[in-house]
A and B are shown apart, each in its own frame.
Chain A
């Protein structure tokens, strides 16, 4: 009540006096559940936003962060253990799943991707494969073919391993991705694999997953060849570099994660290179205001201002230059001198990947079916 009252009094008070005689206005706090891939960028940008002078009805704005796994965000909101103003998982996959699940549970979607003022992508980075060049050259050459995922399966299950390719000293073929139940990049990997098996980029259905025995066998053979699933993408990439080719021949991670670790890989175990899969899937970091009764109109307005700030040029430029994300702000050029796409071009990073098709984000029930299938059959 006081918070609502004071701005009115403030508005009529004599300006030089009001700062002295009245208490500072209460801030509108935007609680945000977010996935950790963008943490360093957010923690750099938020203080700038808070001190930028942005207000709603004269109230300053404050962001209160809580880090979570992308799927954990959905679980926390659906179970009611958290009531945030805003969520930002790593990808639109979780937003689609949340819309589907909340509609089923509450009769209305808690998020609305169609309303771009309150729910839109802020940063982009595609899922890529990072491989030791010497080994990738043998396995798929300069660029993986359209049948990459099928070829990977065949290589992984081949009992002769690298001996088939005249390299018995490299042992069996080792692939790594994160745990799809805990980490978005792991889920993106199994979704791309599933599309890859069915040789399509859209119209994935639950039948493709549940009623195709050959797919299930193929999928589980691939997954069972993976020794351990890391909980998140950063540590997986770090292991790729620390342990070298002995432990992973190639891993599936975000392009931005690969950029972040590029310098560390130099002079260690040979050349590390990034490869784009034949069809892309983006981690697009949507920021979505919840359409929930616990979110006030003031908070919604404040959250929209925050999204605008995140998509402004300075914040977007920082995300590119320092953290290797692709901006959504179209005027920023990726290949500008000094950008990661300029500095690491020799490692296979490409600014222009528009020639590669993108896979369609399936309906929420398809995503949840794939998660459940993995959980039932692969978790150890």
Chain B
């Protein structure tokens, strides 16, 4: 009897192990799983990333019994549209920061497809109004909270020659404003649409004909003149503002949740910045509503649609919605009250906004984007490129082609200088407007070849001084330095560069920015960080494989 019992236990144990293994195997056998990819606006990364992991770990299944695997990628909302249109992205689900660009995406898609890319009315995952983030003392100087502020107040400040002096705060210097790049980010598009409405004193009914008004061009140029630089995503812009403080940026367009998140950090002692508040523009604003769009695209299978529905339901379940509230979003589930941290202590006012601006048609949005290209602040840019002997082979080839692509992205009014350094420093093209010389510059870049030593410090300092002397302070001014090695032949030192940078610190966000690209393992990344970061620029680790992407990222600043 005892033996029988042992035999039974052994068989039971073996069967259990087999069944358990089957379960695990099922989740990795291709036929037993369905993978869905999600491209989403990076503003909700902090919420979504852990939830994707939690969902995948739970081995959730479709009604048909397949294990669902979610792969999520954060990306600028407008950038992702371009990827879907050109075929480089083929996600199952697209969740941009707002619905505002859906008509544009549908119009573009229908040029080559019979149906809309986005059909029906997708569900919102979470909500957050678009607001102007401003340091509390600055908002108070403008009359907040007693006085309602809006886009027109920003325009007035932007065009005031006296800057903050006009508001009895000369010590704050110029008004420094920021919004993301409209070709990459939802909040950038929203900012320029709001500018157009404010410039025309309208809140709805914007037409293509309205955009021809000369006063609108002037208004947009005025507002854009106070922009310190653009950027690829709203989350990145928030990091810049909250990391660098009020001397760098006075105000920026972002989402309420980012302000609440920053204030939560500040209250918890994780940030030493002064308080920041959300200004809900009195003329109206837009909602960032994070629609969950299962694409009506040929690459989305029936299985994936089913799996995408399961993941959507998971995200809309109460525990996940409560998590969003903790992070400063307004849950889309109406049964969850708008409670802390959505309160004045965290810079927010849940009774706002009072009104919205009407979402314009696709053709009007397109027209506003074109108008912005003419109104935006031009860039004065010096590219400093290492052509020392170690740049041979793949490196020089990809550096050349990516620089050419970068030059193509610049606007005609932008001014460009290219310096080459090895044992010597030479100017390939001086600081003049790109429009008249674009082809000539492209031809010259295609003929660059390598040889000699690395005079990194001398070349960087020369470019910086040149830009200080010849650059227009009303333009965005930037130096891009690409090097694959350590300095071997300069007469100047890193200290000399930092001394110059420190001397310009009073300019805050308007100071010259240096972007450094460590091209391969031979570059000294620490040194390049020490050059870039104090200017508000950025150090990039790069290789021939990703240099194009780095240049694309830098282009979003302009």
Residues on A close to B: CB < 8 A?
159, 161-162, 169-172, 174, 227-228, 230-231, 235, 238, 241-247, 261, 263-265, 267-270
**Residue of B127, B203, B335, B352 touching A161 (CB-CB under 8 A):** B203
Which of B59-67, B263-271, B355-363 contacts the other chain? Answer: B355-363
Q: Chain B, interface size: which category? A: 20 to 34
**B334 adjacent to A169 (CB under 8 Å):** no
> In the docked arrangement, what's the CA distance between A230 and B124, Å?
13
**Residue of A159, A169, A265 touching B282 (CB-CB under 8 A):** A169
**B121 adjacent to A230 (CB under 8 Å):** yes
Q: A269 contacts which chain B residues (CB < 8 A)?
A: 351
> In the docked arrangement, what's the CA distance between A267 and B342, Å?
13
Interface residues of B in 254-292 (CB under 8 A from A): 282-285, 287
> In the docked arrangement, what's the CA distance between A269 and B359, Å?
22
Complex: chain B residue closest to A229, CB-CB: B121
* Contact flags B110-135 to A (C-beta < 8 A → 1, else 0): 00000000001101100101000000
**A246 adjacent to B337 (CB under 8 Å):** no
Q: A261 contacts which chain B residues (CB < 8 A)?
A: 334
> In the docked arrangement, what's the CA distance between A246 and B283, Å?
11
**Chain A min CB distance to B204 (Å):** 5
Complex: chain A residue closest to B358, CB-CB: A227
**Chain A min CB distance to B75 (Å):** 25
Main SS at interface, chain A: helix
**A268 adjacent to B148 (CB under 8 Å):** no
Q: A265 contacts which chain B residues (CB < 8 A)?
A: 334
**A242 adjacent to B121 (CB under 8 Å):** no
Using A171-B203, A171-B354, A227-B359 as known contacts, say yes or no to A242 and B332 having CB atoms under 8 A apart.
yes
Using A231-B120, A264-B334 as known contacts, say yes or no to A242 and B127 having CB atoms under 8 A apart.
yes
Using A171-B284, A227-B359, A235-B121 as known contacts, say yes or no to A242 and B354 having CB atoms under 8 A apart.
no
**A172 adjacent to B127 (CB under 8 Å):** no
**Chain A min CB distance to B337 (Å):** 6
Interface residues of B in 302-346 (CB under 8 A from A): 330-332, 334-335, 337-338
Using A161-B203, A172-B204, A238-B334 as known contacts, say yes or no to A246 and B354 having CB atoms under 8 A apart.
yes
Using A228-B121, A231-B121, A243-B127 as known contacts, say yes or no to A172 and B334 having CB atoms under 8 A apart.
no
> In the docked arrangement, what's the CA distance between A244 and B357, Å?
14
**A247 adjacent to B332 (CB under 8 Å):** no
Complex: chain B residue closest to A225, CB-CB: B204
> In the docked arrangement, what's the CA distance between A170 and B283, Å?
8
Q: Which 4 A-B pairs have the closest CB atoms?
A: A171-B355, A264-B334, A241-B334, A246-B353
**Residue of B284, B351, B357, B359 touching A270 (CB-CB under 8 A):** B351
Q: B205 contacts which chain A residues (CB < 8 A)?
A: 159
A238, A243, A245, A264 — which one has the most chain B CB atoms within 10 A of its CB?
A: A243
Q: B359 contacts which chain A residues (CB < 8 A)?
A: 227
> In the docked arrangement, what's the CA distance between A205 and B334, Å?
41
**Residue of A172, A241, A267, A268 touching B355 (CB-CB under 8 A):** A172
Q: B204 contacts which chain A residues (CB < 8 A)?
A: 172
User: Can you show 23 pairs from A to B with CB atoms below 8 A apart?
Assistant: A159-B205, A161-B203, A169-B148, A169-B354, A170-B355, A171-B203, A171-B284, A171-B354, A171-B356, A231-B120, A231-B121, A235-B123, A241-B334, A242-B331, A243-B287, A246-B354, A246-B355, A247-B287, A247-B356, A264-B334, A268-B338, A269-B351, A270-B351
Q: A169 contacts which chain B residues (CB < 8 A)?
A: 148, 282, 354-355
**Chain A min CB distance to B336 (Å):** 9
Using A228-B121, A264-B334 as known contacts, say yes or no to A170 and B354 having CB atoms under 8 A apart.
yes
Complex: chain A residue closest to B330, CB-CB: A242
**A245 adjacent to B203 (CB under 8 Å):** no
**Chain B min CB distance to A160 (Å):** 10
Using A169-B282, A228-B121, A243-B287 as known contacts, say yes or no to A264 and B354 having CB atoms under 8 A apart.
no
> In the docked arrangement, what's the CA distance between A170 and B356, Å?
9
A238, A241, A244, A270 — which one has the most chain B CB atoms within 10 A of its CB?
A: A244
A171, A228, A230, A267 — which one has the most chain B CB atoms within 10 A of its CB?
A: A171
Complex: chain A residue closest to B331, CB-CB: A242
> In the docked arrangement, what's the CA distance between A269 and B352, Å?
8
> In the docked arrangement, what's the CA distance between A172 and B124, Å?
24
> In the docked arrangement, what's the CA distance between A116 and B330, Å?
48
Q: A230 contacts which chain B residues (CB < 8 A)?
A: 121
Using A169-B148, A247-B287, A269-B351 as known contacts, say yes or no to A264 and B335 having CB atoms under 8 A apart.
yes
**A246 adjacent to B356 (CB under 8 Å):** yes
Interface residues of B in 189-215 (CB under 8 A from A): 203-205
> In the docked arrangement, what's the CA distance between A269 and B330, Å?
13
> In the docked arrangement, what's the CA distance between A235 and B226, Å?
41
Q: A247 contacts which chain B residues (CB < 8 A)?
A: 287, 356
> In the docked arrangement, what's the CA distance between A269 and B331, Å?
14
**Chain B min CB distance to A311 (Å):** 31
Complex: chain A residue closest to B361, CB-CB: A380
Q: B203 contacts which chain A residues (CB < 8 A)?
A: 161, 171-172
> In the docked arrangement, what's the CA distance between A216 and B351, Å?
38
Complex: chain B residue closest to A163, CB-CB: B203
> In the docked arrangement, what's the CA distance between A6 and B515, Å?
86
> In the docked arrangement, what's the CA distance between A269 and B334, Å?
12
Q: A238 contacts which chain B residues (CB < 8 A)?
A: 332, 334
> In the docked arrangement, what's the CA distance between A169 and B350, Å?
16
Complex: chain B residue closest to A248, CB-CB: B356
**B124 adjacent to A245 (CB under 8 Å):** no
> In the docked arrangement, what's the CA distance between A246 and B350, Å?
12
Complex: chain A residue closest to B124, CB-CB: A242
